[in-house]
């Protein structure tokens, strides 16, 4: 589809703006004004509506079809959450309002909502307190590592390293590194697919600031030795960080706080069904055990004896500001709405069905696709396309073949420790009929890989484009449209 | 209501296929000792009940105030088409465009957004957006530190104080020195900045218009910085850029800013988006998602995520940033907004904001005891000096349905009598007049409540 | 097969004496592993570094690999052609795809590097 700037017609106007009801003044001296006008596009409202409607039709979302992108929890996003987030009493609130005297009383509903969400997240995870401010999962990780750094600084601990399993998401080492820590990788046990406790014992020492864990891990395997991991860490006064990316598997079945986890984050776009938005915005609430509460970001929401809510900015040991205000509020509204719709019983149902769906797909495919860890999985299963690769059909080719069959492919080439990895996460909102059709498509692709491997290079054929040239993109760096 | 589709019968069939008798068997890896000690949550509710609950909460927020609050976050009009188009499920239920064949809509929109931001700021290339204006400044600092291999950052006192606080929090554990240069008479202090420049300074952070709404032309500062090998980071208000000299015209190295004003509601603090743009030389050091235009196998135009090798999922602990996503949907809204108002429209929005703010200034100047700080030109926000504590007076105005602006004492000690007032195109002459009348009336009684001055602002 | 007129570092850089300077590049094996190279971040002429110091980055679509100085010295030249045609490294890693020239602080450091036979044995 032609880029929007090609559709622009000089002089054409879209929306009409309010008329100027005050004397027109232009009190700004020439030296402050721009020399060239900003060449924004010039379109009618209908031009714009058609352009973006056209673009939307080139996209695939959960609303379009099955989207088993591992590690991303692409579940259905309830429409009522959108409606709630759009209520004027939420969407029109200026964030500086509570900082005005008497302004706090005008935002009691919003503050109550945030306060209640914090409490609910504590109950779901077993953590002592939550901050809702982090603006995304990765931002939550960064906040968590800042809290750990503040804790060690406060105690006068000299800590320099963070231990991270080799199967972890790339964000973990990155978050630790930008907080100023050196990262050390812990190998995974090749037979169990879990963290190697012996290796951990060897690597941990008094310089270890933290261990970062994902449980269930990125292989979809729950580590039942998590208490031992915590115990080993605490023996060295290292903190244990729990990456909540895979929380969808364990709601009502396991709470990180009960295992002694010190800090964790939640990706609300995964577990609590806030829209993925094409890559954001998300929200990454961070939970801590009691000893880290004094370090939580400014401000904290407190409930007064008269049941009113107040923002407390007087937090002398806090790590300070991580967000301009109270987090991605309207995303948090959606998360709370979702939790309230489901309730405790519904959340347990989520995990049970997410895990059942993943195991069902795993069992149906394991005859034809290599399953590196053949054991029951949690909410996702990780296959390897190694058998197909022998015929020259790689994980990426299988992904492209799925596109032609109307599916979004699984996550491919992650986790890095599995060659030709294909990570499938069906989520709980998919029906058996959908899973059966997907399984049939995968089996058909396995047949095709043996029968006609050469055909894969030209796939997908039914998508608007086919395998864009990424090398050309990186070399040419055409990242801004120039009219020819 | 858990949105689970499968019936109990289907679940039985599936369990059988998995070779287990109950769903509990699938959770056997979680030992009994690790099962939740508590999971006391209310039972699920119907859509209707939940909607009613949230309506009640929303009604406890009084959103009907006439807003003259700004401080970097503005109450601009959002065309209806933005909401209608951004709420298409194909956009908001998709994820990061890892599979370009299924994501050309998101990818092309980001490419167009990047182009719009580039044109607005006058810079060569923009990224797909950061979390907000504050994190964009932080990421720009990291870029400057890496690019120059220096260790100090100079921060102008006119940079949004909230962003400065964020910057210092993020870097508390890192070996980075900050030098803050207070503003004088509302504008950047040239002499002072020049004094603190040196061969250890990686970057200088400026803001235009600055936090007090004051317009500046930082061209001379940019020149001094470049002579010393320092980069310049300028945070700008995107609406003002339709009129004012953009970063690209004065040689700024990294342009950033809060993009909320472009089609995103205030929503009590988020989600917003931080935009970031840079010149050709630094583009490969820019963090976050970037979309490039290329060709596909058949020679058709196609869009892909590019320069990903620098990102966390590949480069792990050596990544330029830990950011995994952008604020895609907010950036999409910003792009839709710019497409709808267009070239002339955004200029008109800017002119309206400016003209209305100038009118408000005139009205306030006529109130006894009130003075408007007028050492330099302002865009749509300006500082007024009140004869009493601005926090107390603001409280009185809030009770009368007006959010009158931001009392500055909280962020600038010594400025307890100053109020920062913002005016957007949505404010009418009548609303501005009403504000001035109520302010005058409140001030005429100010002796009555002067004893309250010592009270702590308790929200 | 790597070239026997130069020495190698574990991190896949080669170093080849040429008059009073030492030319540095990456091995053909390294370029194959990286795939299509899209960008090379070069050091600046005049920069002085120790052996093992980071002195650039070689980027492909799927990886970004740091370049380490095989020996210490001052950078006296960089291969500017790589700015527009990074694929030179893919085409000819041994000659046209050289990356920088160092004036060694101690030519004796060359002895610590691997011979071609030792390097090829690590692959």
The per-residue pLDDT for range A376-387, each reduced to its tens digit, is 999 999 999 999
CB contact under 8 A, B6 and A353: yes
Residues of chain A neighbouring B319 (CB-CB closer than 8 A): 170, 174, 177
C78 falls within a domain: yes
C1 falls within a domain: no
CA neighbor of A226 nearest in space, from B111, B31, B22 = B31
pLDDT at position B456: 39
Beta carbons within 8 Å of A285's beta carbon, 6+ residues apart = A117, A118, A121, A130, A131, A132, A134, A140, A265, A266, A268, A327, A332
Read off the CATH number of the domain in which C29 is found: 2.40.50.100
CA B402 to chain centre: 23
Total residues found in chain A within this entry: 484
Name the burial class of residue B180, with classes exposed (0-12), middle (13-18) and buried (19+) by CB atoms within 10 angstroms of its CB. Answer: middle
The answer to whether C2 and C116 are in contact (CB under 8 A) is: yes
Report the 10 Å Cβ neighbour count for C76: 15
Subunits touching C (CB < 8 Å, at least 3 pairs)? Answer: A, B
For chain C, what percent of residues have pLDDT higher than 90? 88
Mutation for B interface: C11, C64, C75, most B CBs within 10 A? C64
Q: Does B4 touch chain A (CB under 8 A)?
A: yes
Residues 332-371 of B with CB under 8 A from A: 332, 336, 338-349, 351-352, 354-356, 358-359
Q: Does B310 touch chain C (CB under 8 A)?
A: yes
The answer to whether A427 and A71 are in contact (CB under 8 A) is: no
pLDDT at position B454: 41
Residues 26-55 of C with CB under 8 A from A: 36, 38-39
The answer to whether B230 and B202 are in contact (CB under 8 A) is: yes
CB contact under 8 A, B309 and C59: yes
- Which pLDDT tens digit goes with each residue over A392-405? 999 999 999 999 99
Q: Does C48 touch chain B (CB under 8 A)?
A: no
Element (H, E) at A47: helix A45-56
CB contact under 8 A, C61 and B308: yes
The answer to whether B309 and C61 are in contact (CB under 8 A) is: yes
- CA-based nearest residue in chain C for residue A475: C38
Q: Please state which CATH class domain B80-337 belongs to.
A: alpha beta
**Nearest CA-CA distance, residue C21 and chain A, Å:** 30
What ipTM, to 2 d.p.?
Answer: 0.97
CB contact under 8 A, A474 and C61: yes
Residues 47-76 of B with CB under 8 A from C: none
pLDDT at position A416: 87
CB contact under 8 A, B112 and A466: no
Beta carbons within 8 Å of A190's beta carbon, 6+ residues apart = none
Which token pair is B370? 């009130």
* Region A35-46 average pLDDT: 96
Q: Which residue bears the tokens 């107390």? A: B392
* Region A99-107 average pLDDT: 83
Beta carbons within 8 Å of A79's beta carbon, 6+ residues apart = none
Q: How many CB pairs under 8 A join B and C?
A: 20
CA–CA dist B192, B203 (Å, integer): 15
- The alpha carbon torsion through B396, B400, B401, B405 (nearest 10 deg) reads -30
* DSSP for residue A271: H
**How are strands ordered across the β-sheet holding A421-424?**
A381-384, A421-424, A411-412
CA–CA dist A149, A179 (Å, integer): 8
The answer to whether B85 and A53 are in contact (CB under 8 A) is: yes
Of B6, B81, B142, the CB nearest to A49: B81
Number of structural domains chain C divides into: 1
Residue C31 belongs to what domain range?
7-122
Q: How many CA atoms lie less than 13 Å away from B157 in the CB half-sphere? A: 16
CB contact under 8 A, B341 and A14: yes
**3-state class of A460 per DSSP?**
coil
CB contact under 8 A, B314 and C39: no
CB contact under 8 A, C61 and A470: yes
> Which sequence spans correspond to the domains of chain B?
66-74+344-451, 80-337
Q: Where are the beta strands (DSSP E) in A267-339?
A: 286-288, 300-303, 309-312
Name the burial class of residue C1, with classes exposed (0-12), middle (13-18) and buried (19+) by CB atoms within 10 angstroms of its CB. Answer: exposed
Q: Does C97 touch chain A (CB under 8 A)?
A: no
pLDDT at position A483: 61
Report the 10 Å Cβ neighbour count for A408: 25
Q: Does C61 touch chain A (CB under 8 A)?
A: yes
CA–CA dist A409, A69 (Å, integer): 6
* Region C17-39 average pLDDT: 94
- Which pLDDT tens digit goes with each residue over A244-258? 999 999 999 999 999
Residues of chain C neighbouring A471 (CB-CB closer than 8 A): 36, 38, 60-61
pLDDT at position B357: 97
Residues of chain C neighbouring A474 (CB-CB closer than 8 A): 38-39, 59-61
**Nearest CA-CA distance, residue A470 and chain C, Å:** 7
Mutation for A interface: B101, B240, B259, most A CBs within 10 A? B101
Measure CA of the first residue to CA of the last residue in chain C; give whole Å.
10
Q: Does B313 touch chain C (CB under 8 A)?
A: no
CA neighbor of A379 nearest in space, from A433, A426, A437, A347 = A426
The answer to whether A220 and A421 are in contact (CB under 8 A) is: no
C57 falls within a domain: yes
- The alpha carbon torsion through A212, A213, A218, A222 (nearest 10 deg) reads 170
Domains of chain A: 4-56 (no CATH), 82-340 (3.40.640.10), 348-470 (3.90.1150.10)
CA–CA dist B411, B397 (Å, integer): 20
Mutation for C interface: A414, A471, A478, most C CBs within 10 A? A471
Of A108, A275, A363, the CB nearest to B92: A275
Q: Which residue bears the tokens 């399984």? A: A439
CB contact under 8 A, B309 and C66: no
* Region A180-199 average pLDDT: 93
CA–CA dist C90, C92 (Å, integer): 6
CB contact under 8 A, A324 and B120: no
* Check whether domain B66-74+344-451 has CATH 2.40.110.10, yes or no: no
CB contact under 8 A, B309 and C41: no
C2 falls within a domain: no
Print pLDDT tens along chain B (459 aa).
689 999 999 999 999 999 999 999 999 999 999 999 899 999 999 999 999 999 999 999 876 899 999 999 999 999 999 999 999 999 999 999 999 999 999 999 999 999 999 999 999 999 999 999 999 999 999 999 999 999 999 999 999 999 999 999 999 988 999 999 998 778 899 999 999 999 999 999 999 999 999 999 999 999 999 999 999 999 999 999 999 999 999 999 999 999 999 999 999 999 999 999 999 999 999 999 999 999 999 999 999 999 887 777 777 777 778 888 889 999 999 999 999 999 999 999 999 999 999 999 999 999 999 999 887 899 999 999 999 999 999 999 999 999 999 999 999 999 999 999 999 999 999 999 999 999 999 998 876 555 444 443 433
Instruction: Look at B32 and C1; give whichever has higher pLDDT.
Output: B32
CA B341 to chain centre: 20
CA–CA dist A214, B282 (Å, integer): 35
CB contact under 8 A, A475 and C87: yes
Mutation for C interface: B150, B282, B307, B309, most C CBs within 10 A? B309
Q: What is the 3-state secondary structure (H, E, C) of chain B?
A: CCCCCCCHHHHHHHHHHHCCCCHHHHHCCCCHHHCCCCCCCCECCCHHHHHHHHHHHHHCECCCCEECCCCCCCCCCCCHHHHHHHCCHHHHCCCCCCCHHHEHHHHHHHHHHHHHHHHHHCCCEECCCECCHHHHHHHHHHHHHHHHCCCEEEEECCCCHHHHHHHHHHCCCCCCEEEEECCECCECCHHHHHHHCCCCEEEEEEEECCCCCECCCCHHHHHHHHHCCCEEEEEECCCHHHCECCHHHHCCCEEEEECCCCCCCCHHHCCCCEEEEECHHHHHHCCCCCEEEEECCCCCEEEEECCHHHCHHHHHHHCCCCCCCCCHHHHHHHHHHHHHHHHHHHHHHHHHHHHHHHHHHHHHHCCCCCEECCCCCECCEEEEECCCCHHHHHHHHHHCCEECCEEHHHCCCCCCCEEEEECCCCCCHHHHHHHHHHHHHHHHCHHHHHHHHHCCCCC
Subunits touching B (CB < 8 Å, at least 3 pairs)? Answer: A, C
CA A187 to chain centre: 24
**Nearest CA-CA distance, residue B272 and chain A, Å:** 8
pLDDT at position B30: 96
Which token pair is A149? 């750094």
CA–CA dist C55, C69 (Å, integer): 6
- CA-based nearest residue in chain B for residue A185: B317
pLDDT at position B276: 98
CA–CA dist A56, A340 (Å, integer): 30
Count of helices and strands (H, E) across chain C? 4, 9
C108 falls within a domain: yes
CA–CA dist A254, B65 (Å, integer): 45
Residues of chain C neighbouring A475 (CB-CB closer than 8 A): 38-39, 86-87
For residue A277, list its beta bridge partners: none
Query: CA A424, A428, A430, A433 torsion: positive or negative?
Result: positive
C-alpha distances in Å from residue A301, one per residue of A138, A148, A292, A311, B16: 23, 21, 16, 5, 48
CA–CA dist B182, B155 (Å, integer): 9
pLDDT at position B310: 75
- The alpha carbon torsion through A345, A341, B6, A63 (nearest 10 deg) reads -150
CA B456 to chain centre: 28
């Amino acid at each position: 589809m032609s880029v929007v700037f090609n559709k622009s017609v000089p002089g054409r106007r879209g929306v009409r703006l309010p008329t100027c009801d005050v004397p027109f003044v232009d009190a700004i001296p020439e030296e402050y004004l721009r020399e060239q006008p900003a060449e924004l596009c010039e379109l009618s409202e209908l031009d714009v509506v058609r352009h973006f409607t056209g673009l939307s039709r080139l996209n695939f979302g959960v609303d379009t079809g099955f989207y088993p992108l591992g590690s991303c929890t692409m579940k259905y996003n309830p429409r009522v959450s959108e409606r709630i987030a759009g209520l004027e009493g939420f969407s029109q609130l200026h964030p500086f309002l509570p900082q005005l005297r008497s302004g706090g009383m005008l935002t009691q509903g919003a503050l109550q909502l945030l306060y209640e969400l914090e409490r609910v997240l504590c109950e779901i995870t077993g953590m002592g307190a939550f901050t809702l401010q982090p603006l995304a999962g990765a931002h939550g990780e960064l906040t968590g590592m800042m809290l750990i750094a503040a804790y060690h600084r406060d105690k006068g601990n000299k800590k320099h390293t963070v231990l991270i399993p080799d199967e972890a998401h790339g964000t973990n080492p990155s978050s630790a590194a930008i907080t100023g820590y050196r990262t050390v990788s812990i190998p995974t046990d090749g037979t169990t697919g879990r963290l190697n406790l012996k290796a951990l014992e060897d690597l941990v020492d008094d310089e270890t600031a933290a261990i970062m864990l994902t449980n269930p891990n990125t292989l979809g395997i729950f580590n039942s030795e998590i208490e031992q991991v915590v115990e080993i860490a605490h023996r060295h006064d290292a903190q244990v960080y729990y990456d909540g990316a895979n929380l969808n598997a364990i709601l009502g079945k396991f709470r990180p706080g009960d295992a002694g986890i010190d800090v964790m984050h939640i990706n609300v776009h995964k577990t609590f069904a806030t829209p993925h938005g094409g890559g954001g915005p998300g929200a990454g609430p961070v939970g801590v055990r009691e000893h880290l509460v004094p370090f939580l970001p400014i401000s904290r929401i407190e409930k007064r004896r008269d049941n009113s809510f107040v923002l407390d900015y007087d937090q002398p040991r806090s790590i300070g500001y991580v967000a301009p205000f109270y987090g991605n509020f309207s995303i948090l509204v959606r998360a709370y709405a979702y939790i309230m719709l489901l309730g405790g019983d519904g959340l347990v149902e989520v995990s049970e069905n997410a895990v059942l769906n993943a195991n069902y797909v795993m069992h149906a495919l394991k005859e034809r696709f290599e399953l590196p860890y053949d054991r029951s999985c949690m909410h996702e299963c990780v296959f390897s396309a190694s058998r197909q690769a022998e015929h020259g059909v790689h994980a990426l080719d299988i992904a492209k073949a799925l596109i032609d069959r109307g599916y979004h492919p699984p996550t491919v080439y992650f986790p890095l420790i599995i060659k030709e990895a294909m990570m499938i996460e069906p989520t709980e909102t998919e029906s058996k009929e959908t899973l059966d059709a997907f399984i049939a498509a995968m089996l058909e692709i396995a047949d095709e890989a043996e029968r006609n491997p050469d055909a894969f290079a030209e796939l997908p054929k039914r998508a608007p484009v086919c395998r864009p040239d990424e090398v050309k993109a990186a070399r040419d760096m055409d990242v801004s449209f120039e009219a020819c | 209501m858990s949105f689970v589709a499968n019936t109990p019968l289907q679940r039985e069939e599936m369990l059988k296929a998995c070779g287990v008798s109950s769903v509990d068997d699938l959770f056997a890896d979680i030992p009994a000792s690790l099962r939740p000690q508590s999971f006391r949550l209310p039972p699920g509710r119907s859509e209707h009940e939940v909607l009613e609950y949230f309506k009640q909460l929303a009604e406890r927020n009084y959103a009907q105030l006439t807003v003259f609050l700004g401080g970097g976050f503005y109450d601009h009009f959002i065309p209806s088409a933005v909401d209608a188009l951004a709420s298409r499920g194909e956009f908001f239920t998709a994820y990061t465009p890892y599979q370009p064949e299924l994501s050309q809509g998101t990818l092309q929109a980001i490419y167009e957004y990047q182009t719009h931001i580039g044109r607005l700021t006058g810079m060569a290339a923009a990224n797909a957006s950061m979390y907000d204006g504050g994190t964009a400044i932080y990421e720009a600092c990291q870029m400057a530190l890496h690019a120059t291999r220096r260790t100090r950052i100079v921060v102008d006192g006119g940079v949004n104080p909230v962003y400065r606080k964020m910057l210092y929090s993020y870097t508390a554990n890192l070996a980075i020195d900050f030098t803050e240069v207070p503003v004088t008479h509302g504008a950047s202090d040239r002499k002072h900045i020049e004094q603190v420049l040196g061969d250890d300074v990686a970057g200088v952070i400026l803001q235009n218009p600055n936090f007090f709404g004051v317009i500046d032309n930082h061209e001379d500062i940019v020149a001094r910085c470049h002579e010393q090998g320092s980069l310049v980071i300028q945070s700008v208000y995107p609406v003002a850029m339709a009129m004012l000299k953009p970063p690209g015209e004065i040689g700024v190295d990294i342009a950033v800013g809060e993009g909320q004003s472009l089609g995103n509601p205030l929503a009590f603090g988020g989600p917003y988006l931080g935009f970031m743009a840079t010149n050709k030389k630094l583009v490969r050091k820019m963090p976050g998602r970037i979309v490039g235009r290329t060709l596909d196998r058949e020679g058709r135009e196609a869009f892909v995520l590019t320069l990903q090798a620098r990102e966390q999922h590949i480069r792990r602990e050596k990544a330029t940033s830990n950011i995994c996503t952008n604020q895609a949907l907010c950036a999409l809204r910003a792009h839709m907004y710019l497409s709808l108002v267009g070239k002339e429209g955004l200029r008109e929005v800017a002119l309206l904001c400016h003209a209305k703010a100038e009118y408000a200034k005139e009205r306030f100047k006529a109130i006894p005891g009130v003075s408007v700080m007028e050492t330099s030109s302002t865009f749509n926000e300006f500082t007024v000096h009140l004869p009493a504590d601005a926090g107390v007076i603001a409280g009185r105005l809030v009770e009368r349905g007006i959010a009158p602006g931001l009392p500055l004492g909280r962020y600038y000690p010594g400025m307890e009598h100053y109020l920062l007032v913002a005016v957007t195109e949505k404010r009418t002459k009548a609303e501005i007049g009403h504000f001035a009348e109520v302010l005058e009336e409140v001030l005429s009684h100010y002796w009555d409540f002067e004893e309250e001055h010592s009270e702590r602002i308790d929200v | 097969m790597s070239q026997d007129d130069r020495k190698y570092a574990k991190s896949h850089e080669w170093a080849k004496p040429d008059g009073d300077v030492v030319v540095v590049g990456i091995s053909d094996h390294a370029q194959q592993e990286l795939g299509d190279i899209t960008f090379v971040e070069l050091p600046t002429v005049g920069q002085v570094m120790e052996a093992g110091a980071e002195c650039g980055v070689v980027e492909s679509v799927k990886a970004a690999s740091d370049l380490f100085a095989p020996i210490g010295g001052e950078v006296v030249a960089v291969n500017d052609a790589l700015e527009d045609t990074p694929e030179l490294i893919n085409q000819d890693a041994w000659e046209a795809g050289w990356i920088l020239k160092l004036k060694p602080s101690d030519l004796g450091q060359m002895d610590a590097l691997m011979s071609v036979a030792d390097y090829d044995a690590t692959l």
